[in-house]
Amino acid sequence: MPLSPEIKDKIDEGFLTKPCIKCGLDHRAYNHAGMVPLQGEVWKNLKGPELMQAEAHLATLKAAHTKKMNAAKKAGSSSAQASTPQTVPQTVPTNIEPIIVPTGFPVIDTAGTDPHASLTTPQLLLIQEQAKSEPVDIVLRQANNAPTADQVATGHVHEPTTEKLSIVSAKFPLRKQFAKSTSHVLTNYFEVSWNNNTKFFVYEITDIPAGNKRKTKAVVKTAIQAWDFLRNNQSHFATDHLKFIVAWTDLHTGIQCPRKSTPAEEVIWTPTPIADGDRRVQLYFKYHG
């Protein structure tokens, strides 16, 4: 079954435009890759032989475009070599020194520029790889029977050192009596205390793309692995895997990445981006205090 002229024209017009005519995401069909649901303007309505014909036509367009781009690149390279005196050595920077944030948090204006646009940007970590490594239970776990009294020790009876809240007024009547306890209940609740001079540092990962909790958790885990100031300090902080990080050690003094231009009262860094498929995701790391 030949491809209809209408569909063929749409592919010819849209394979280099955004959004992608195959999946509908923010990239060109020329750059489409991966197992992404085909929800683009053209592909979402194709079925059977017509879908196969559309794939073949797009492949032909890609090949022609790649050949054209390679020829133009080769011609430009030849022209540049011809116009450059051979006696003048050409030097290409191979390393870009990171911007180290000094004490006092001075703001570095990065407005309008991409601090990670250089060719030396490290390979971006893929969110999908973090999601794939996330264990998923596909079978119900075997339930454990509750231990009997002769199977457990007396344990540690919790005796709180803090005073109980004294409620002066309540919206509903308070219960005055409880059933008499005849047994001990085993729980995993515990009391936490710390020294008066203990310091906690609160941070936030901002600009996380909208999605469900599983996707958000994958983004946060990817950022922790991608940024060395978090990856090397995982035993010194806790996270809700939604956006907040609470550390009991200073994580920000050694950050070696550009600062984001923000109001004076905000302290935000621009770490290395991460990748979501073929889309680059720029997250930010904010210090709350």
- Look over the chain and give the mean of its residue pLDDT values, rounded to a whole number: 74
What is the pairing mode between strands 244-247 and 201-206?
antiparallel
Q: For residue 50, is pLDDT > 80?
A: no
Per cent of the chain over pLDDT 90 is 16
For 80-95, the pLDDT digits (tens) are 666 655 554 545 444 4
For 211-265, the pLDDT digits (tens) are 888 889 989 999 999 899 999 999 999 999 999 999 999 998 888 888 887 776 7
| Interval 151-172 mean pLDDT | 62
Q: For residue 174, is pLDDT > 80?
A: no
Task: Please name the amino acid found at residue 182.
Answer: T
Task: Please name the amino acid found at residue 146.
Answer: A
Dig out the tokens for 276 from the structure: 């979501």
The Cα-based distances of 16 to 57, 66, 176, 230 in angstroms read: 14, 12, 73, 38
Please state, in angstroms and rounded to a whole number, the distance separating the CA atoms of residues 36 and 279: 13
Q: For residue 106, is pLDDT > 50?
A: no
What pLDDT was estimated at residue 120?
47
The Cα-based distances of 26 to 31, 55, 80, 120 in angstroms read: 10, 19, 33, 25
| Interval 259-278 mean pLDDT | 82
* More reliable by pLDDT, 182 or 111: 182
Go through the chain and tell me how many residues it has.
289
128: burial class by Cβ within 10 Å (0-12, 13-18, 19+)? Answer: middle
pTM of the model: 0.46
